[in-house]
Amino acid sequence: MTMAARSVGVPLILMVAFSLATGCETPESAQSAPDDSEPSSSVKTNELWVPKEGDFVLRDNQTNSLWNLRGEAFQGPLEGKKLQQLPAFNSFWFAWSAFYDGSEIWQADGPRIVNAPGDIGKGDGCLVPCDEIKMGCPGKDCIPALDYDARPYAGRERPKAAEMVPVGAPETDYLDAKDLVLGVVIDGQARAYPLKLYWHHEIHNDRVDGQEYSVSFCPLTGSGIVFDGRHDGEPIRFGVSGRLFQSNLVMFDPSTETFWSQMMGRGIKGAKMGDSLERLPVVETTWERWQRMYPETLVTSSQTGYQRDYQRYPYGDYRNNHQNTFGTEAFESTYDAKDRVLGLPASGDKRSLAFPFPELESLQGGRNVVHAEFGGDPIIVVYESEHRLAIPFRATVDSRELSFSVERAP
């Protein structure tokens, strides 16, 4: 494996993208006061989902029970049981390689390979080299985050609280079936966050039944990660700092004046430097697939209070241009820079694990389940090519290890 060198400068296209993502318009009129109430349209996801005939399901080889893509057994001896989804995220290969050097890489034909180890290094007063925390756009909140209330951030007023609306609402007309979304289930409620919105906002601080969490998406590293909204027993919410580290979003929380690396999930400068955030499970897939999995889902309204063209990708050919990595110095060239990977970060002395999409694509049929081991535990990854879906689950139920095969729903 060879290392591909890149310049560390921030290209001019970033400032062009910034102007498109932020706009020059004055935000729509602010509401008179923040609304702290929960959306009345929230619906619990308590009913067992039985996939329609021909849909993608799994069969376990131990009891012959059938399982849906939510990890629920809907037929057979284990009906009602559920697999534990693991916290993970998708990203571009170059970014995973840069941040998680030394990780294990799953390959379809084996054996596994290990991404070459390296050392990001530390700086004086930073968890990473301070001079590599680059200015990407001019100042905190230069790209405005969305929030469940209209609380000001970094001294700037929010035009309105972000709204979550049901499938079929007029505010969802901006979505197409194949648009990618980040899907989460919090306290039994399913919610979808379309990437085309977060090209322009990058962070959404949200809340379900009092549980706060933050959905983050970095267009430059292709990484969509969800974090718990509490840290050290205190609420925490994030905004865009205007900085980048290794081309990746650096978040900022005003309560502790800390910079946080999104892909590392760690404080890299400030009062909480070295602390780790808790990641929550998330599914990246198409809007069509997520609706099928969770028909009662809510989704972010296009009426954000900001005047943005949410149909327009603001970074030109970036997501398909393997030569442009926005200044990341070096990465493993085993795969093309913008190839997608599903990454499972590990803690302590455990080894992180990545599933490159080119490896998953090499499997036959477009719908597959692969078995692996992560941190000493058996896991599976369910993959569906058409909907760009890869979900990791712990492959045990009631301390019993299960193995699976792919089926079509009866």
For residue 383, being part of any structural domain is answered with no
Q: What is the pTM of this model?
A: 0.89
How big is the chain by its Cα radius of gyration, in Å?
Answer: 21
Q: Which has the higher per-residue pLDDT, 4 or 183?
A: 183
Is 395 among the domain residues? no
Q: Report yes or no on 379 lying in a domain.
A: no
Backbone angles phi, psi at 217, to 5 degrees: -140, 125
Specify if 48 maps to a domain. Answer: no
What pLDDT, on the 0 to 100 scale, is given for residue 138? 81
Per-residue pLDDT tens for 256-302? 999 999 999 999 999 999 999 999 999 999 999 999 999 999 999 99
In this structure, is residue 387 part of a structural domain?
no
What per-residue confidence (pLDDT) applies to 359?
A: 96
Question: What is the domain range of residue 305?
Answer: 3-42+87-354
Q: Would 55 be classed as within a structural domain?
A: no
pLDDT of residue 38: 42
Beta strands in 234-376 (DSSP E): 234-235, 239-245, 248-253, 258-261, 266-269, 279-280, 283-286, 298-300, 330-332, 340-344, 353-356, 367-374
Domain membership of residue 176 (yes or no) is: yes
Report the percent of the chain where pLDDT is more than 90. Answer: 72
Q: Is residue 261 part of a domain?
A: yes
Rounded CA-CA distance 291/41 in Å is 16
21-25, 27-31, 219-223, 275-279: least confidently modelled range = 27-31
Domain count, the chain: 1
Backbone angles phi, psi at 361, to 5 degrees: -65, -25
Q: For the chain, give the mean pLDDT.
A: 87
